[in-house]
Amino acid sequence: MKKTGILNSEVASVVAGMGHMDWLSIGDAGMPVPMGTKKIDLCVDKELPSFMDVLKNVLKEMKVQKIYLADEIKDQNPEQLENIKKALPDVEIEFMPHADLKKNLAKTHAFIRTGEMTPYSNIILESGVTF
């Protein structure tokens, strides 16, 4: 049995299978997931688990070189934006309209659904390389 890091077997498997520049998305409970995109549903109740709890757990094992966020997070959820920046210092951020972010979920290896109930708490992580 695994002792540390990502204990959810589906999330661990997706992260382990990713290569440089592959995408993984994490989001709130309301984010629509395109048909054909693997959805790993961790939501058990409102705010359980939170977006930031899941993001921090994934970051224990995933090297991230760039992130994609919705433009709307700047005005609609600035506290979450600051939390993301603290968790990913020195990582490039690209903002796009929320509608485009939703479309881009189709390009991700998986979408991890959290219990988050705050607006625009969605992210696409672009994997980096560790060498």
Cα separation of 131 and 129, whole Å? 6
Q: Residue 2: is its pLDDT beyond 90?
A: no
Q: What is the pLDDT of residues 13-27, one digit of tens each?
A: 999 999 999 999 999
- Which residues are known binding-site members? 28, 98, 120-122
What local confidence, expressed as pLDDT, does residue 1 receive?
Answer: 86
Tell whether pTM > 0.95: yes
Selected catalytic residue, list 13, 20, 93, 100: 20
What are the tokens at 128? Answer: 């980096």
Q: Is 20 a catalytic residue?
A: yes
CB 38 within 8 A of CB 105: no
Contact partners, residue 75, CB within 8 Å, separation at least 6: none
What distance, in Å, lies between the first and last C-alpha atoms of the chain?
28
Alpha helix locations (H) across the chain? 9-16, 51-59, 73-76, 78-87, 98-104
CATH superfamily, with its number, for domain 20-127 = RbsD-like domain (3.40.1650.10)
- Which residues are known binding-site members for substrate? 28, 98, 120-122
Half-sphere exposure (Cβ direction) of 71: Cα atoms closer than 13 Å:
5
Mean pLDDT over residues 45-66, rounded? 98
Domain assignments of the chain as residue spans, ordered by start: 20-127
